Amino acid sequence: MCLVGSRLIFCYQIDTDTSPFKDASILKHDASPSAGTSISPKLASSRAYTLSLSPYFLYARSQLMSALVSSKVFRQLEFMAVGSWWIYAPGHPDCEKDELGAEKVLYRVPGNREDVFAASHISMKSKRTLMRLLRHITKPNEDEASNEGDDTSMPLNDYLASQFSVPEELHNPLLSLSLSQLSQQDTPASYALPRIQRHLSSIGHLGPGFGAVVAKYGGGAELLQAACRASAVGGGVYALDTCLEDCLWRYGSEYSEHRFLLKLSNQGSVQAKCLFTSAADTSPKESSTPLVEVARSISVVSATFPSLFPVAVEGAPVPATAVLMFPGDTLGSPKSPPVYLQVHSSDTGECPHQQSKPSRVQSCLICFSSPLA
């Protein structure tokens, strides 16, 4: 993307050699009729699905959300609330033997002060310790005196234990709020703490009971479409099947308005004031940032999972997304990275409400994500 005069030019070309996805496949389960019925769930028409291969959500206090608001692009979008964070912990003390639903093998991560003191699986001493940590994380940045002596370069679990004496059973819930794709031992506190702070400060910013949202009808693709429409109205130009062959930075006062000379793959060239690109586009093989390969699975199931979408507080909207974390120690080794699931209800518009007739089963989208070893 480059700025030419007062116009933006977008260049698009798909490079199959540097595709972010590999070993992609589509599997269709041949479902047999359910017990006691002759009806088997069937997929709807392909046009009824808007699935994202890279699912995500927006925090209320994220930079992208601020950009959507300031550019007024948000007016062309519809958002749904992201609800609870859940931790997989079979047999945790807070579950009842005859309990059904998510609470049987999951427990909800407290999202505010009221949740912390209402959680029966956390001791009173641990609650006071947790509140002291949360006050430290959410205090204003101007208060630097109390930050002296903080060594945030250590792993998150060591930081929590040494600085605040946070009990081990609370490490995974705090790790889940950072959405780190690494284990506790491999996640530095400097990475996790700002993300936990963003999570906590976002709650209640757009409305009661939630701190993040997802865009309906496809997530990131819908955001891009809305941004492209806004850019086209503002005079943006799109060059399809075109990429940058070369970029020349020009010196001299005569080039003060247009420092960049860009050579395009269609034999043309343009002058530009600014150039916006990614590191992968400029030097994919020379990047110093290590890449983490992640395995993903997008599944459409004929189930509603209503217990995953509780209304957190009075007046809050019914959430359309829940986040589940499976800690490494529940997967065979504490050193294993966690596995995250984003569970989307059909209210997001990504899959139809009725998957089969006449059973009228509501569909649900499950997005599995885990780093590859």
Per-residue pLDDT 10s for the chain (373 aa) are 554 444 555 555 545 455 667 777 877 766 565 555 544 567 778 888 888 877 888 999 999 999 999 988 999 999 999 999 999 987 655 555 555 556 678 889 988 788 888 888 788 888 999 999 988 988 876 555 555 557 889 999 999 999 999 999 899 999 999 999 888 899 999 999 999 999 999 999 999 999 999 999 877 888 888 888 888 888 888 877 788 788 888 888 888 888 888 888 877 888 888 887 765 555 544 445 566 677 888 888 887 788 889 998 889 999 999 999 999 888 877 788 899 999 998 888 888 875 422 223 445 666 666 665 4
Last residue of a domain, one of 257, 282, 307: 282
Do residues 191 and 136 share a domain?
yes
Q: Count of domains in the chain? A: 2
Q: What is the pLDDT of residue 363?
A: 54
Residue 197 and residue 226 in one domain: no
Phi/psi for 371 (5° steps) reads -65, 145
Q: Are 247 and 275 in contact (CB under 8 A)?
A: yes
227 falls within a domain: yes
Strand partners of residue 188:
155
Question: How many Cβ atoms from other residues are within 10 Å of residue 99's Cβ?
Answer: 12
Cis before 358 (ω within 30): yes
Does 226 lie in the same domain as 188?
Answer: no
State residue 8's pLDDT score: 54
| pLDDT attached to residue 103 | 65
Judge if 136 and 195 occupy the same domain. yes
Q: Give the C-alpha distances (Å, rounded to integers) separating 293 from 39, 104, 290.
A: 39, 32, 10
Looking at residue 325, its pLDDT comes to 93
Nearest by Cα to 160 from 197, 201, 114, 193: 193
pLDDT at 253: 85
If asked whether residues 165 and 196 sit together in one domain, one would say yes
Amino acid present at 194? P
Q: Which domain holds residue 163?
A: 132-140+148-202
- Give residue 276's pLDDT: 77
* Residue 93 located in a structural domain: no
Are residues 229 and 278 both part of a single domain? Answer: yes
Residues 136 and 189 in one domain: yes
Query: Residue 122's pLDDT is what?
Result: 85
The answer to whether residues 192 and 136 belong to one domain is yes
Q: How many CB atoms lie within 10 A of CB 363?
A: 24
pTM for this structure? 0.79
Confidence (pLDDT) at 47: 83
Interior angle at CA 51, CA 45 and CA 56, nearest 5:
160
Query: Does residue 289 belong to any structural domain of this protein?
Result: no
